[in-house]
Chain A
Amino acid sequence: EPEVTQTPSHQVTQMGQEVILRCVPISNHLYFYWYRQILGQKVEFLVSFYNNEISEKSEIFDDQFSVERPDGSNFTLKIRSTKLEDSAMYFCASTGTGKYEQYFGPGTRLTVT
């Protein structure tokens, strides 16, 4: 069964550094998303992406964040200058055409020190 994959599984970085989190959505899915979950808190929407552009973004997704689909398979989330409060699990999700169900990847645990 096709799955969303994410790399790395765990990323440790120093405050102020740039990080790129990578996702490979399910093949032939066209809608892509990033969510985050701070330890012990709710899953929060960051951004949705369709047809090579951002469809929706939340207040969390400020100028420090960007997304890109650099090729036909990868979908990336970049955080330009990480802060301590960016420490969280980051989940990528994707949805097929004509569907609304979002399938999540295993997540990347980001630790900012």
Chain B
Amino acid sequence: QKEVEQNSGPLSVPEGAIASLNCTYSDRGSQSFFWYRQYSGKSPELIMFIYSNGDKEDGRFTAQLNKASQYVSLLIRDSQPSDSATYLCAASSARQLTFGSGTQLTVLP
């Protein structure tokens, strides 16, 4: 059974702070990892993907992958109130995404 686990939160950070979101996965065959943002009632929006161990930066977002520990994280720097959403971690094996339950992030003005 493939599982992706996330802290459900809620996670609250003040505006301008760094938000840190974490995820673990059970399937060692997973090759690709994704972070989606989902606003209430909306569809998942892809914000980051990472395939190799290490860090990947894109603007205010940094994804980190450690395959040995089966751990993925997302850092959001200079958090903004508009970043308030549920963040979904997903692991891919054979192009099938397995999602975590999401972490609800609130950025306080």
Footprint of B on A, CB under 8 Å? 31, 33, 35, 41-45, 48, 55-56, 58, 89, 91, 95, 100-107
Contact = CB atoms under 8 A, between A and B. Distances in A.
Taking each of B34, B51, B97, which has the highest tally of chain A beta carbons within 10 Å of its own beta carbon?
A: B97
Contacts of A95: 95
A40 to B, nearest CB: 9
28 contacts: A31-B95, A33-B97, A41-B101, A42-B101, A42-B102, A43-B88, A43-B90, A43-B99, A44-B99, A45-B96, A45-B97, A55-B94, A56-B94, A56-B96, A91-B43, A95-B95, A100-B31, A100-B49, A100-B95, A101-B34, A101-B46, A102-B46, A104-B44, A104-B45, A105-B43, A106-B42, A107-B42, A107-B43
A-side binding surface: helix, strand, loop or mixed? strand
Contacts of B62: none
Contacts of A91: 43-44
B85 to A, nearest CB: 14
Interface residues of B, number: 23
B97 A102 contact: yes
Contacts of A31: 95
Interface string B32-49: 101010000011111001
A56 B93 CA distance: 10
A56 B99 contact: no
Taking each of A31, A43, A55, A95, which has the highest tally of chain B beta carbons within 10 Å of its own beta carbon?
A: A43
B98 interface: yes
Nearest to A46: B96
